């Protein structure tokens, strides 16, 4: 039996505060500086090497003790979906492009923070009162929307990113915030760097530009050239009680059921040895877990597993509801169990895992 290191540990007040700072920070793809700064501050005292690469990834190495240790890459993306101001129409009105996948339905009427100074604004739409006939039934076209900072104070400019102006809160056993996809993964990875076990060389990549096609992870995996990779993300839970009465075949993960281990998604077939190893670890240490339902979506694993000569990869997510919208909800217990599963799995990892049959 494997001994559990953190099985009884709870998410601390300090860890919630860190998640709060990460969730409230603005880091739309390509402008991840605010999250990068928090990450650097947290990991520097605990790392052997810290580097910011050409694209803005934070690459952290923590060596184990001994020779011929497994090089284990852990990746968590720092960026979030959002907007980019593209044209100044005057009077505080800006046209914008969407960065990453966001639906127009989630945009109209929402408060936003713009640029590095979090300038408040709103996403405007033609008032319903002025609509004609079937206008009210028409789906919203992103082209009809604009950002209004009412009026300009000269601090915002074309090229600035904007995010939903949602302040983080703890709601009983849950947390609510924007960008919990993937600040939950970032917070988890910070913790794993702080408590890196001695049996592996830990290579932590806090990646950029995942939401627009995992551009940062591609170069991070090349640089690290690891033996295997575990990708930490947050995946949508579609587990509403309306479908709970019967067998729910529509959820892909559920809140409260523990970390979601990926078997496959739109971009990756996870390495079967790593899936098996994570399940064995969870079962031996009595950590709840769930298998994410196959289907759409993807993580940085999509590019990492195809790097160099192929890198065995698996993704593990904290499930969350309403990702890529103004506010997500996740359970603190799922975060805690994800952290425990990964800490336990890493601390017992040996080259045997990859020598096993597929
Ligand atoms: Zn994500």
**Cα–Cα–Cα angle for 346, 348, 349, nearest 5°?**
65
Tell me, what's the pLDDT at 3?
Answer: 40
Q: Match 């830990």 to its residue by tokens.
A: 202
CA of 321 to the centre of ligand 1 (A): 12
CA of 116 to the centre of ligand 1 (A): 21
Tell me, what's the pLDDT at 6?
Answer: 41
Tell me, what's the pLDDT at 155?
Answer: 87
Handedness of CA 199, 204, 210, 215 (dihedral sign): negative
The structure's pTM equals 0.94
Tell me, yes or no, if 210 is annotated catalytic.
yes
185 preceded by cis ω (within 30°)?
Answer: no
CA of 323 to the centre of ligand 1 (A): 8
Per-position b or e across 279-313, b if 16+ CB within 10 A of its CB: eebbeebebebbebbeeebbbbbbbbbebeeebbb
Ion ligand 1: protein residues whose beta carbon lies under 5 Å: 181-182, 233
CA of 351 to the centre of ligand 1 (A): 29
Q: Who contacts 253 (Cβ-Cβ below 8 Å, separation ≥6)? A: 235, 236, 237, 238, 239, 260, 290, 292, 293, 317, 319
Q: pLDDT tens, position by position, for the chain (358 residues)?
A: 334 444 446 899 999 999 999 999 999 999 999 999 999 999 999 999 999 999 999 999 999 998 889 999 999 999 999 999 999 999 999 999 999 999 888 899 999 999 999 999 999 986 666 666 676 677 888 888 999 999 867 789 999 999 999 999 999 999 999 999 999 999 999 999 999 999 999 999 999 999 999 999 999 999 999 999 999 999 888 777 655 555 555 668 989 999 999 999 999 999 999 999 999 999 999 999 999 988 788 999 999 999 999 999 999 999 999 999 999 999 999 999 999 999 999 999 999 999 988 8
Phi, psi of 25 (to 5 degrees): -70, 150
CA of 299 to the centre of ligand 1 (A): 6
CA of 298 to the centre of ligand 1 (A): 8
Tell me, what's the pLDDT at 247?
Answer: 52
CA of 135 to the centre of ligand 1 (A): 34
Give the burial class of 10: count Cβ atoms within 10 A of its Cβ; 0-12 exposed, 13-18 middle, 19 or more buried. Answer: exposed
Tell me, what's the pLDDT at 125?
Answer: 85
Catalytic, out of 210, 283, 309, 357: 210
Q: CA dist 312 to 55, 163, 297, Å?
A: 24, 34, 19
Tell me, what's the pLDDT at 66?
Answer: 87
CA of 230 to the centre of ligand 1 (A): 14
> What is the rounded distance in angstroms from the CA atom of residue 75 to the CA atom of residue 215?
13
CA of 127 to the centre of ligand 1 (A): 33
Answer whether 101's CB lies under 8 Å from 324's CB.
yes
Residue among 258, 345, 259, 269 nearest 301 (CA): 269
CA of 17 to the centre of ligand 1 (A): 21
Q: Who contacts 129 (Cβ-Cβ below 8 Å, separation ≥6)? A: none
Tell me, what's the pLDDT at 250?
Answer: 64
CA of 181 to the centre of ligand 1 (A): 5
């Amino acid at each position: 039996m494997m001994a559990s290191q953190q099985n009884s540990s709870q998410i601390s007040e300090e860890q919630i505060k860190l998640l709060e700072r990460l969730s409230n920070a603005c880091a739309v793809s390509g402008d991840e500086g605010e999250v990068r700064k928090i990450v650097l501050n947290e990991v520097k005292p605990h790392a052997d090497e810290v580097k910011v690469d050409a694209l803005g990834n934070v690459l952290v190495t923590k060596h184990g003790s001994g020779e011929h240790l497994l090089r284990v890459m852990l990746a968590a993306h720092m960026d979030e979906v959002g907007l980019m101001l593209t044209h100044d129409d005057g009077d505080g009105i800006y046209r914008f492009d969407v960065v990453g996948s966001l639906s127009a339905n989630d945009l109209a009427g929402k408060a936003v923070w713009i640029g590095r100074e979090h300038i408040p604004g709103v996403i405007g739409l033609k008032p319903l009162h002025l609509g004609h006939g079937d206008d009210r039934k028409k789906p919203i076209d992103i082209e009809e929307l604009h950002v209004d900072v009412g009026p300009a104070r000269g601090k915002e400019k074309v090229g600035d990113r904007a995010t939903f102006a949602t302040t983080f809160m703890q709601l009983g056993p849950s947390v609510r915030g924007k960008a919990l996809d993937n600040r939950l993964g970032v917070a988890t990875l910070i913790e794993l760097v702080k408590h890196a076990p001695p049996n592996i060389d830990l290579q932590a990549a806090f990646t950029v530009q995942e939401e627009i096609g995992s551009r940062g992870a591609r170069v991070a995996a090349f640089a690290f050239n690891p033996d295997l990779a575990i990708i930490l993300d947050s995946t949508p839970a579609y587990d509403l009680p309306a479908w709970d009465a019967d067998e729910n075949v529509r959820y892909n993960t559920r809140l409260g059921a523990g970390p979601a281990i990926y078997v496959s998604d739109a971009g990756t077939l996870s390495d079967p040895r790593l899936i098996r190893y994570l399940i064995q670890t969870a079962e031996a240490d009595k950590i709840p877990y769930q298998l994410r339902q196959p289907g759409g979506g993807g993580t940085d694993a999509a590019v990492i597993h195809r790097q160099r000569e192929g890198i065995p990869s698996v993704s593990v997510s904290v499930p969350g509801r309403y990702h890529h919208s103004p506010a997500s909800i996740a359970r603190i217990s799922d975060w805690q169990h994800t952290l425990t599963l990964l800490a336990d799995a890493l601390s017992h990892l040996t080259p045997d895992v990859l020598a096993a049959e597929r």
